[in-house]
Amino acid sequence: MSEKNFQDEVAKNLKGTLQSAISGGDSVTKEMIERVYPAAVHAVSLLNGHDEEKIEASIDRVAICNWVETQFNIRQDEPDILKSDEDHEPWLFKRREEIEWHHWDAYRSLLDTKMPPVTVNRIGQVTDDILDLMSDPQTPGKWDSRGLVMGHVQSGKTANYVGLIAKAADAGYKVIIVLAGLHNSLRSQTQMRIDEGFVGIDTRDGVLSANTIGVGNMKKHSSANVIAYTSAEENGDFRRNIAQTLTGNLHGDTPLIFVVKKNVSPLRNLYEWIQAVANLPDGQEKVQKVPLLIIDDEADQASVDTKGGTDPEDKEHNPAAINKRIRLLLNLFEQSSYVGYTATPFANVFQPVLDDPAHDYGPDLFPKSFIISLDSPSNYIGPSKLFGFTSDEEDSDGLPLTRTIDDSKFIDWLPEKHKKDHIPSEHDFPSSLETAIDMFVLSCTARLIRENSDQHHNSMLVHVTRFVDVQEIVTEQVRSYVDELRVSLRNDNRVNATVKTRLKELWETEFLPTSETIMNIDEDLGAELHKFEDLEPKLLTAASRIDVLQVSGNSKEALDYRQDSGIGRSFIAIGGDKLSRGLTLEGLSISYYNRPSRMYDTLMQMGRWFGYRPRYLDLCRIWTTSTIQTWYRDIAFATHELIGEFKEMSKQGMTPKQFGLRVRAHPDMMITSRAKLRNG
């Protein structure tokens, strides 16, 4: 084992041993960790068969203790719930002991290796709440539950619904359909997460892959426990010819899972295939005794009926295409539960409440059974923390991480209302984008020092146009700048000393003061100070690992964050709509964004920079215009108000049908699209 691999293995084992040795409680202090530290080192020495002195000499004691303290001192409040008690009784407490939590136990073991204990516990509690509000899959006869889970952008909704899927399968749901965005890239990424947390095989090699992954390597779990009908391949959406090669049975004991785009074709194919394999007898219109669960990721996108339909007696109403297809799938099963997930519920707020429309598509997707608002953990970095907000009663300043795109070249390079045939001149390549790329190189370098590991991923987002042809030109210009930067760093001592001088000045005038400010704001945010001399030997290594990729429908390459020989990936991702919703950019540190939207929900979803930034928040920067910064502050306050009103309604025991909340209007923006606002 190499010295580096030894250090990584020892650090991992030591962190796990320390977490197990500390009971938790209200607060874990450095003193508590220091007391159990010697015993933890001794235990790891016995486990690894290495001398304790060698272990002590190979790891950073302070960094490990700080990490453990952070894991325990994350706070997250309980969710707020609106629920309807019509035709529903709590059931989980009656069946909990008899259920064999086969899939959930494996998934929880996986989460324990990735997340702080507080976060894992909260996922367990919240998914229990959601499962209990759904229908008991063992209930005989006809039933139908509809719910909505409101989270925050990039806050961990996928981890939540993978946990819910695992528990639902354990409880008895047999067919699980996940509706995953509008693009292949997001559907594929969602499938990867479900493969890791539920299926247990790596379907990037197809649905018949034998390579185990995630829970597939956990005890009591194997790929035979779930049958996946879709794969993580780019073209791995549901196809009937692939489905016919599998041995799954709607009425069997093994759960079947489908991860499908919100696209008419795969949804129609899936509906027709289920009809065919169900082999319904004459006179029977629905699949019986096969509980269905549909998880609708980004439930405010495409799923909402935008064609009217406020009259429950309107038999002629023809819903929007995707809304119709989802309802047809639900209506095909006698027993079904639908759970939508979204971070921007503005469109869902204004959905009409149609209990039982008298047409063949079944009831609309209004969450009649329950609505849950998830609280964000204390380590979540959302719009209020990043941008702050201003109101008559409360002010928040935000963090000093935003930078303004105001150089004169940008407007010549990419005018605000350019067309799809616009050609950005390389001579007008904006200096602000050059600085942002330099910042990304420095951020990647600093993380190499902080993490003491090569396994983490780094990403930079460039989102300046929706036109694919223009994105291709931008990609080539960014790639050219990165190539020149690498060449200059490689030849710096002999040819050009200005690059390191430029990076040194940027580090000392931009990063060090900001890191120091964030340390003063909150020491738990994980900021650290480094001399440029510590970064300098790693600059070329960090720059050499950066790949520049276009993320669009024309892309031949995809963002694949698989480690290469234990080394993480570093991407500069350039795109438009594909980067706007749902897609996760691992280790995102630098964002360059000049794509305004005048809709609350669209602008919020474009904020891929929200989320968790352990130990590198101070290395992050958001480059955008002053107008967009102001808009984010305004939306942050509108969302803050919406959640506050929801909490008050929850305290009063109100129901989803009473979810007619006010959303603060804005002079320059809309809450959501006009079609979704027809009942607002």
Is the CB of residue 590 less than 8 Å from the CB of residue 460?
yes
More confident residue, 70 or 366: 366
Mean pLDDT estimate for the chain: 83
Res. 582: pLDDT tops 70? no
What per-residue confidence (pLDDT) applies to 661?
A: 54
Q: Per residue in 371-390, pLDDT tens?
A: 998 888 888 888 888 888 76
What per-residue confidence (pLDDT) applies to 678?
A: 46
Is the CB of residue 148 less than 8 Å from the CB of residue 350?
no
Res. 677: pLDDT tops 50? no
What per-residue confidence (pLDDT) applies to 496?
A: 55
List all residues 6 or more positions away from 238 whose beta carbon is below 8 Å from its beta carbon. Answer: 229, 230, 258, 260, 266, 269, 270, 273
Cα dihedral value 624, 625, 628, 630, nearest 10: 110
Q: Per residue in 654-665, pLDDT tens?
A: 888 777 555 445
| Full strand arrangement of the beta sheet holding 588-593 | 402-404, 621-624, 588-593, 458-463, 570-575, 546-551
Res. 484: pLDDT tops 80? yes
Cα dihedral value 259, 264, 270, 275, nearest 10: 150
Is the CB of residue 583 less than 8 Å from the CB of residue 158?
no
Write out the two tokens for 626. Answer: 């002053």
What per-residue confidence (pLDDT) applies to 2?
A: 63
> d(Cα 441, Cα 488) in Å, to the nearest integer?
13
Q: Which residues of 606-623 are buried (b: 16+ CB within 10 A; e: fewer)?
A: bbbbbbbbebbbbbbbbb
Q: Per residue in 225-249, pLDDT tens?
A: 899 999 999 889 999 988 888 877 8
Write out the two tokens for 32. Answer: 């508590």
Write out the two tokens for 175. Answer: 């067919």
What per-residue confidence (pLDDT) applies to 1?
A: 53
pLDDT category at 222 given cuts 50, 70, 90 is low
| Residue 19 identity (one-letter amino acid) | Q
DSSP state of 181: -
Helices 264-278 & 321-332, crossing angle to 10 degrees? 20
| Closest CA relative to residue 134, chosen from 285, 294, 261 | 294
Is the CB of residue 541 less than 8 Å from the CB of residue 448?
yes
Mean pLDDT of 437-458: 90
Distances (CA, A) of 377 to 120, 136, 193, 381, 456: 11, 29, 21, 9, 22
pLDDT category at 517 given cuts 50, 70, 90 is very high
Strand residues in 492-595 grouped as ranges (E): 546-551, 570-575, 588-593
DSSP state of 576: S
Q: Per residue in 41-75, pLDDT tens?
A: 888 787 777 777 777 777 777 777 777 777 776 77
